[in-house]
Amino acid sequence: MTTIETHSPAETEQVGAALAGRLSAGDVVGFTGGLGAGKTVFTRGLARGLGYDGDVTSPTFALIHEYRGGRVPLCHMDAYRLNGADDLFETGFYDYLDGGWIVAIEWNERAGVAPAVAVAIERVDDDTRRIRLEGRGY
């Protein structure tokens, strides 16, 4: 387990980009942490670290965003509205995993997936976040 404190969104993105180097196809990154914690900012860093240059925004309404073109394609899910395993199956989650994607899940407590890397983000104050990483050498 590793705990890192960041003091700007850019720093949180850097932590995400560093994690990207440890991931491969079929890995799940599971986020916990409330609204505005920085889950989407961190995922933007993941995408950047994989070599994806486009927009990375909250998938709250679409449920899933797909970022292709990096070293491994990244699927960005918001599980906030999911209720258990059947809902997760409906999203195509397992198709992404079998299809060689990395899947980043915000609100993973709602999806209940055992991730390769668990990322828990806590808001300390306006600009400070405490990020706890677990798995893949963290």
Which residue ranges make up the site for ligand ADP (CB under 6 A)? 6-9, 11-12, 33, 35-41, 58, 106, 127-129
With CA atoms as reference, report the closest residue to 71 among 114, 22, 31: 22
Residue 32 binding partner per list Mg ion, ligand ADP, none, with a CB distance cut-off of 5 to 8 Å that depends on partner kind: none
If DSSP codes are grouped into helix, strand and coil, which group holds residue 79?
Answer: coil
Distance CA 129, CA 126 (A): 8
Report CA 117 to chain centroid distance, whole Å: 9
Q: Is 91 in the site for Mg ion (CB under 5 A)?
A: no
Q: Are 138 and 120 in contact, with CB atoms under 8 Å apart?
A: no
Residue nearest Mg ion by beta-carbon distance = 40
| Six-digit token string for 93 | 């989650």
CB of 13 to ligand ADP, least distance (A): 8
Residue 129 binding partner per list Mg ion, ligand ADP, none, with a CB distance cut-off of 5 to 8 Å that depends on partner kind: ligand ADP
CB of 5 to ligand ADP, least distance (A): 8
